[in-house]
Amino acid sequence: MLRRILLSALLLTTTAACGAGGTGGTGGAGGAIEYWLWDSAQQPGYQKCADAFEKQNPGLRINISQYGWEDYWSKLTASFIADTAPDVFTDHLTKFPQFVDLQVLRPLDDLGPTSDIKDSDYQAGLAELWKGKDGKRYGAPKDWDTIAMFYNATALKEAGISPETLGELTWNPRDGGTFEKTIAHLTIDRNGVRGDEPGFDKTKVKTYGLAANGAGGDNWGQTQWSAFTGSTGWQPTDRNPWGTRFNLDDPVLQETLDWYFGLVKKGYMASYAAIGGSNAITADKQIQSGIAAMGFDGSWTISSFTKLTDADGKKLDIGVAPNPIGPSGKRASMFNGLADSVTTFSKQPENAAKWVKYLSGEECQNLIGRSGVVFPARPSGTELAIAYNKKERGLDVSAFTDHIENHTTFPLPVTSNAADIAALSQPAFDAVYLGQAPASSLTRLNDQLNELFKVAG
């Protein structure tokens, strides 16, 4: 009963809408292994994996259901309450700790097919993130991601900026360095005046130098400010995973965020209103429509950016540049990865684990790598994804992969009470983005989050 009450409370903190985008399915229905994911771009690749798995395992069938991100988590939590959860689902690092606390995930160590998963089979540091405080594994790695800068090559050319220049950019929280100078020059007002030219009108901007992805309060600034804070050496918690104190009161963070969100006030970065308010236009669409010249985003969006076309249907020339070098003298990127988890509601946990083992294995991950949608967790799959992007898209993705080779990543924070953290953090960061509060206001948020740690024990 307590678990059901806690799940109901969790459901109230997630996105309420549950109406669109899915194909249905309940755990174990009709003997099929029910598998849920949220990324429509990945569904075709995983259907290939399912087809191959079924051929190798006669009598087992995989039914894949896909829901949009906004609906996915509320539907999943609702399915836990109603005992209609899938056997297996794609899990996220910000979610799994709370699911572990609520006892809705099975430890993969306790299931035969997944009991021998090795950390060393995956990109360094990835598999370890999916272990709970008890040391048991609750997710089998499927992919990884980092952050880089996408840009409209035509906008760069018109501004007289070479792609090579983007690879040399530096930033600092005092004057923004060469990074801020570059986005200022890429910014153009409605009279055709650039952001670094006399007469620039920051109240009437046609094209912003930098796209916006919102405030980042619900994802630790992953595609917003994390590349900047990370390159100062700042970390969200005192250790990761399972830290015991948040660091939002650190002057280094607050100084960085005052500078970053100050780009909106200067007219160089898209404002809340410019990106459509609560119905935010994503960074790729901002670049496509000419609202922005370049923007930060994750490697999972590569296929979206490379499909962009102009108003006449002509394919846009999109490039990828590395994150700017920060005060630490290095670049930085948040390192995240998805995994597949087995629910405690599955009526066929051993079969579900067999599917998870296949998903995390070389054969499936190589299939996904050849699709070029994401970077699979296994190095062999990553190499295939790199080759696909080079051959099929003519795209150099080293801005993403160099972070792995150069050890310039830091993991997305893994903490308990993720839903409560997001519920408190999102409005606090929104206020800073909107210019309603300085970054020093995050000290109060920090105190609130540290209280959650005390409650979590």
Decide which of 98 and 268 is more confident.
268
DSSP code of residue 412: P
For the cut 60, the answer to whether the pLDDT of residue 19 exceeds it is no
Q: Considering only the C-alpha atoms of the chain, give the largest distance between any 2 of them, rounded to a whole number of Å.
A: 72
DSSP code of residue 189: E
Is residue 247 within 8 Å of 446, Cβ to Cβ? yes
Q: For the chain, what's the residue count?
A: 457
Where does residue 212 fall: left (phi above 0), alpha (psi -120 to 50 degrees), or beta otherwise? beta
Is residue 208 within 8 Å of 266, Cβ to Cβ? no
Of all helices (H) and strands (E), which one includes residue 296?
Answer: strand 292-298
Mean per-residue pLDDT of the chain: 92
Domain 2-145+336-411 has CATH 1.25.40.20: no
| Spatial separation of the C-alpha atoms in residues 250 and 309, rounded to whole Å | 42
For the cut 90, the answer to whether the pLDDT of residue 456 exceeds it is no
Q: How confident is the model over 93-102, as pLDDT tens digits?
A: 989 998 998 9
pLDDT number for residue 131: 95
| Spatial separation of the C-alpha atoms in residues 437 and 416, rounded to whole Å | 27
Candidate from 7-11, 58-62, 149-153, 388-392 with smallest mean pLDDT:
7-11
Strands 339-342 and 333-335: unpaired
Give the mean model confidence (pLDDT) for residues 429-440: 97
Is residue 97 within 8 Å of 132, Cβ to Cβ? yes
Q: How confident is the model over 359-391, as pLDDT tens digits?
A: 999 999 999 999 999 999 999 999 999 999 999
The closest of 412, 323, 413, 409 to 123, measured between CA atoms, is 409
Decide which of 70 and 93 is more confident.
93
The distance of Cα 401 from the centroid of its chain, to the nearest Å, equals: 15
Give one DSSP letter per residue of 311-380, joined into a string.
TTSPBP-EEEEPPPB-TTSS--EEEB--EEEEBTT-S-HHHHHHHHHHHTSHHHHHHHHHHTSSEESSHH
Q: Is 386 helix (H, G, I), strand (E, B) or coil?
A: helix
For the cut 50, the answer to whether the pLDDT of residue 157 exceeds it is yes
Give the mean model confidence (pLDDT) for residues 28-49: 88
CA distances for 362 relative to 30, 300, 358, angstroms = 29, 20, 8
pLDDT number for residue 277: 83
| Spatial separation of the C-alpha atoms in residues 319 and 339, rounded to whole Å | 28
pLDDT number for residue 25: 42
Is residue 115 within 8 Å of 108, Cβ to Cβ? yes
pLDDT number for residue 279: 76
| Spatial separation of the C-alpha atoms in residues 242 and 247, rounded to whole Å | 14
* pLDDT band, residue 416 (cuts 50/70/90): confident
Is residue 108 within 8 Å of 139, Cβ to Cβ? yes
| Spatial separation of the C-alpha atoms in residues 214 and 226, rounded to whole Å | 13
Residues 6+ apart with CB under 8 A from 433: 212, 214, 215, 261, 264, 272
pLDDT number for residue 21: 35
How many CA within 13 A on the CB side of residue 199? 4
For the cut 70, the answer to whether the pLDDT of residue 3 exceeds it is no
Give the mean model confidence (pLDDT) for residues 214-235: 96
For the cut 80, the answer to whether the pLDDT of residue 8 exceeds it is no
Give the mean model confidence (pLDDT) for residues 125-149: 96
Paired with 325 in beta bridges are: 170
Please indicate whether the domains covering 2-145+336-411 and 147-335+417-456 agree at the CATH topology level: yes
Decide which of 454 and 141 is more confident.
141
Give the mean model confidence (pLDDT) for residues 264-271: 97
Rg (C-alpha) for the chain, rounded Å, is 22
Q: Is 208 helix (H, G, I), strand (E, B) or coil?
A: strand
pLDDT number for residue 417: 83
For the cut 70, the answer to whether the pLDDT of residue 113 exceeds it is yes
Percent of the chain topping pLDDT 70: 93
Give one DSSP letter per residue of 12-68, joined into a string.
HHS-----SS-----TTGGG-EEEEE--TTTHHHHHHHHHHHHHHSTT--EEEEE--
Q: What is the pTM of this model?
A: 0.91
Give the mean model confidence (pLDDT) for residues 300-324: 96
pLDDT number for residue 31: 79
Phi/psi of residue 418, nearest 5 degrees: -60, -40
| Spatial separation of the C-alpha atoms in residues 341 and 92, rounded to whole Å | 10
Q: How confident is the model over 191-210, as pLDDT tens digits?
A: 999 999 999 999 999 999 99
Give the mean model confidence (pLDDT) for residues 277-302: 94
Is residue 70 within 8 Å of 17, Cβ to Cβ? yes
| Spatial separation of the C-alpha atoms in residues 273 and 203, rounded to whole Å | 12
Q: Per mean pLDDT, which of 4-13, 29-38, 309-318 is the most reliable?
A: 309-318
**What are the boundaries of each domain within the chain?**
2-145+336-411, 147-335+417-456
Percent of the chain topping pLDDT 90: 86
Residues 6+ apart with CB under 8 A from 211: 269, 270, 275, 283, 286, 287, 291, 292, 294, 295, 296
Residues 6+ apart with CB under 8 A from 391: none
Candidate from 15-24, 27-36, 178-187, 238-247 with smallest mean pLDDT:
15-24
* pLDDT band, residue 455 (cuts 50/70/90): low
pLDDT number for residue 251: 98
* pLDDT band, residue 17 (cuts 50/70/90): very low
CATH number of this structure's domain 147-335+417-456: 3.40.190.10
